[in-house]
A and B are shown apart, each in its own frame.
Chain A
């Protein structure tokens, strides 16, 4: 079975720009979540999608938005980038059953300069 793949692996953007990060879920998974991991910290939940609808959101401003597609792949969009947005962004997929935990991708390292 394929795992979770994310692209790109690294990205450098300028403050004020917009960025789109992509994620392909593990085969058979119908739920995708995005996390932000600042350097030296644990991941922070951004939002979750199930059947193409957002069904949970963490404490992130509206300039963080997402999409889930019929094939369960997903995008994370961030507008008006700020320096504090520099982090590792992790995508995680699962079946709709929390007991099995998530499968995480290797992440996209975003640097805002």
Chain B
């Protein structure tokens, strides 16, 4: 079946540090890949997405590249801010019409300190 594995947290960084959160997946074919962010007490917000191999998704300074050869979709940001403190989820939806079920990783909690 489909699965998503994220690096375990929590991750604590100083403001302006470089961020990498690793994500690998298992799926047949070419799934769509997503990063969602969840701020305390809130639902999930779509951060970025990629729908085919070598696509780069980007938003708010975050980016991730769909790597089919390594089945990875690592999240990166060059300079984190305190406001980036949240839980980040990597997710996939399988290929095929009607296949909209999202499979999530367990999430990585990021804390950014001033």
Assembled-state Cα–Cα distance A57/B45 (Å): 23
Closest chain A residue to B44 by CB distance? A104
Contact A58 B44 (CB under 8 A): no
Contact A45 B102 (CB under 8 A): yes
Given known contacts A42-B106, A99-B49, A106-B43, is B89 in contact with A31 (CB within 8 Å)? Answer: no
Contacts of B46 on A, CB cut-off 8 Å? Answer: 101-103
Contact B89 A42 (CB under 8 A): yes
The smallest beta-carbon distance between A56 and chain B, in angstroms, is: 5
Contact A45 B103 (CB under 8 A): yes
Assembled-state Cα–Cα distance A42/B14 (Å): 25
Contacts of A107 on B, CB cut-off 8 Å? Answer: 42-43
Q: Contact size class for B?
A: 20 to 34
Contact B101 A56 (CB under 8 A): yes
A48 CB–B CB distance under 8 Å: yes
Contact B44 A90 (CB under 8 A): yes
The smallest beta-carbon distance between B24 and chain A, in angstroms, is: 14
Contacts of B36 on A, CB cut-off 8 Å? Answer: 104
Near B by CB (< 8 A), chain A positions 14-48 give 31, 33, 35, 40-45, 48
Closest chain A residue to B4 by CB distance? A42
A105 CB–B CB distance under 8 Å: yes
B28 CB–A CB distance under 8 Å: no
Q: 1/0 per residue B85-114: CB within 8 Å of A?
A: 000010101000011111111110000000
Assembled-state Cα–Cα distance A99/B48 (Å): 11
The smallest beta-carbon distance between A55 and chain B, in angstroms, is: 6
A-B pairs with the 10 shortest C-beta distances?
Answer: A42-B104, A104-B44, A104-B43, A106-B43, A101-B46, A98-B93, A45-B101, A99-B51, A42-B106, A98-B100
